[in-house]
Amino acid sequence: MTLFKNLPQVKEAIMTRVTATEFKNNIGAFSNVAMKEPVIVTNHQRDCLVLLSADEYSRLTGEPQGLTEERKREIREQVEYHRNTIIELSNR
């Protein structure tokens, strides 16, 4: 008898983990990887950032695809903040 036969199948999480320097030096390649699976960026062997596709982000947050101008502005600010963080980490 299977106790969990009615539970939905959970997809095993596959994630790529890279250092901030590797990410900085290969951002294009890791951006492509992030379209299929999350990419974890580490700093001093600690998880720092997670890069994932916009579709996956929308799925996780439940945000609709059509964004208001206010939400677009917030996203641009967050992207700029994280871009600066990555640059700062790569210069260490």
Asked whether the whole model's pTM tops 0.75, one would answer: no
Whether 54 maps to a domain, the answer reads: yes
Phi-psi region of 55 (alpha: psi -120 to 50; beta: other; left: phi over 0): alpha
Please state the length of the chain: 92
Whether 5 maps to a domain, the answer reads: no
Whether 45 maps to a domain, the answer reads: yes
Whether 7 maps to a domain, the answer reads: no
Whether 52 maps to a domain, the answer reads: yes
Q: What is the pLDDT of residues 38-68, one digit of tens each?
A: 999 999 999 999 999 988 888 888 766 677 8
CATH number of the CATH domain containing 33: 3.40.1620.10
Whether 11 maps to a domain, the answer reads: no
Look up the domain containing 49 and give its range.
16-90
Whether 4 maps to a domain, the answer reads: no
Q: Where are the beta strands (DSSP E) in 1-92?
A: 16-19, 39-43, 46-51
Percent of the chain with pLDDT over 70: 82
